[in-house]
Each structure stands twice: as structure tokens, then as C-alpha cells.
């Protein structure tokens, strides 16, 4: 399986490098080992294989909606990448346990707090599921923002390469400050995480997090 995964990743690296001008240099800032929650914005289907392949040899294990496995090819591909299926809209405890196991093993877990694709690249409101994993695992969070991928389909039709920009932020931990964490606080926490993505992006992509002049960091502890 490792051999097949490496071959698939190689083809994706070559293919995306042909179709896109990828600003991959910032990816060297991603730690080479140790548990890590890699949090990214979610535009479309391009960034998922691109980041999986270009972060090699470090393995990225992500979450995907369980409906993805209804497609046989996508199910095979996501099984190859050891992706974790998640039932959206409910408390999926099995997915939570599997995420914690990934981090306990010292691997990297990829999460998109928006929970769905934005398509236009503008940030949507974050969903608080990531806070449960971050608080229980005590693993560091590393924000990676990207943009340009929203133009991929249009550029492909015009036989034009897509500029895919990447920025990597500073790692931080989520800290409840000894407060009792309820739904309101979890939303405040994920908003603070999303602001760390927003400050990495051009203003026109910050969406609901465009007011970034003084992003809140009450629950963030920087490494």
C-alpha cells in the first residue's frame, strides 16, 4: 500500500505542477515530525490532493464526508490515504477517536474548519469540531492558507495554468484557560483559529473574517 500511495502521490505532484504554478516554498515550514493539526481553508477539490502529494514524504491524514465513499474510485483513493470518514451534522464519536489516535501516533491530521467548500475562496464561518480534537489531544495547530485554486476549472477550459498560492502561519495551541467550555466558547475558539488563516490571505479572501486588524487570541497559546 505504501508503494501504491507513493506512486499515486508522484503522479499527482507531476500533474498539479503541470496544471498549476504552485507556490510550494512555504511548505518547508511544516514540521517534519511530531503530532500536528494542520488547519486549512477549503475552496474545492483541488487543494486536497495537491497538499497530500506536495507534503510528502510526511503523511497527511484528513477527514472526508462519509458520502465520499459512495464513489468507488474516491473511496479507494481516500482509503489509500487513510482518510477518516465523518458523518456531518452529528456527533461522530468514532471519527473523533480516530483523529485522536492519529495524533497520539505522532502523525499529522488535516482539518478544514469551514466544513464545506467555499468555491470562491472567501472564508466561511468555522465550525467548532476542531476545538474538541485540539483540546483533547493538546496537539499544536498549524494554519495553512491558500488561494487561486478557485480559478482552476475556468483556467483549465482556457488551457491556462493556475497560480496556486500558499502561506504557512505560526503554530499555536488551543488553551481553555481553565474555563468550562460550552458551545459559545467553542465557537469563539474556532473563530480565533479562522482569524489565523485570514491574516495569511489577501483581504479579498478573508470573507466573514475580514476584520483582522486585531484578531482575538484569548484561547490561543503560541509555540
Taking only the tens place, the pLDDT of each residue in 135-175 is: 999 999 999 999 999 999 999 999 999 999 999 999 999 99
**What is the model's pLDDT at position 165?**
98
Calculate the CA 183 to chain-centre distance: 22
**What is the model's pLDDT at position 88?**
79
Between the alpha carbon of residue 21 and those of residues 44, 53, 160, 163, the distances in Å are 17, 15, 10, 5
Burial 39-69 (b: 16+ CB within 10 A, else e): bbbbbeebbbbbbbbbbeeeebbbbbeeeee
**What is the model's pLDDT at position 1?**
66
Q: Let me know how long the chain is.
A: 223
Which residues, listed in sequence order, are joined to residue 162 by a DSSP beta bridge?
20
Mean of the per-residue pLDDT values of the chain: 94
Between the alpha carbon of residue 166 and those of residues 24, 99, 104, 125, 146, the distances in Å are 7, 25, 27, 20, 4
Q: Find where cell 499527482 sits.
A: 12
Query: pLDDT band at 113, cuts 50/70/90?
Result: very high
Q: Which backbone phi and psi does 69 adopt, to 5 degrees?
A: -75, -5
- pLDDT surpassing 90 at residue 24: yes
18 CB burial (10 A radius; 0-12, 13-18, 19+):
exposed
Distance (Å, whole) CA 143 – CA 169: 5
Q: Which backbone phi and psi does 48 adopt, to 5 degrees?
A: -65, -60
**What is the model's pLDDT at position 214?**
80
Q: Find where cell 507534503 sits.
A: 55
Q: What angle, rounded to 10 degrees, do the helices at 47-54 and 2-19 form?
A: 120
Beta strands in 129-208 (DSSP E): 141-147, 162-168, 172-174
Taking only the tens place, the pLDDT of each residue in 67-93 is: 999 999 999 999 999 999 998 777 789
Taking only the tens place, the pLDDT of each residue in 196-217 is: 999 999 999 999 999 877 889 9
**What is the model's pLDDT at position 98?**
96
- What are the boundaries of each domain within the chain? 2-24+32-222
Task: Find out whether 39 and 113 touch, Cβ atoms under 8 Å.
Answer: yes
pTM above 0.75, yes or no: yes
- CATH architecture group of domain 2-24+32-222: 3-Layer(aba) Sandwich (3.40)
**What is the model's pLDDT at position 92?**
84
Calculate the CA 89 to chain-centre distance: 19
Amino acid at each position: 500500500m505504501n508503494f501504491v500511495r507513493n506512486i499515486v502521490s508522484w503522479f499527482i505532484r507531476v500533474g498539479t505542477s503541470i496544471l498549476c504554478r504552485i507556490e510550494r516554498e512555504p511548505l518547508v515550514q511544516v514540521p517534519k515530525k511530531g503530532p500536528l493539526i494542520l488547519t486549512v481553508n477549503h475552496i474545492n477539490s483541488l487543494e486536497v490532493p495537491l497538499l497530500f502529494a506536495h507534503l510528502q514524504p510526511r503523511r497527511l491524514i484528513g477527514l472526508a464526508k462519509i458520502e465520499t465513499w459512495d464513489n468507488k474510485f474516491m473511496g479507494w483513493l481516500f482509503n489509500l490515504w487513510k482518510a477518516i470518514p465523518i458523518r456531518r451534522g452529528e456527533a461522530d464519536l468514532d471519527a473523533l477517536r480516530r483523529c485522536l489516535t492519529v495524533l497520539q501516533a505522532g502523525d499529522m491530521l488535516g482539518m478544514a474548519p469551514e466544513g464545506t467548500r467555499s468555491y470562491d475562496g472567501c472564508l466561511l464561518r468555522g465550525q467548532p469540531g476542531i476545538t474538541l480534537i485540539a483540546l483533547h489531544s493538546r496537539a499544536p495547530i498549524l494554519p495553512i492558507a491558500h488561494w487561486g485554486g478557485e480559478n482552476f476549472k475556468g483556467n483549465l477550459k482556457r488551457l491556462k495554468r493556475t497560480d496556486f498560492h500558499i502561506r504557512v502561519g505560526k503554530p499555536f495551541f488551543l488553551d481553555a484557560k481553565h474555563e468550562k467550555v460550552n458551545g459559545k466558547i467553542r465557537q469563539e475558539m474556532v473563530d480565533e483559529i479562522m482569524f489565523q488563516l485570514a491574516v495569511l490571505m489577501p483581504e479579498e479572501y478573508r470573507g466573514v473574517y475580514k476584520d483582522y486588524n486585531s484578531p482575538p487570541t484569548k484561547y490561543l497559546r503560541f509555540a
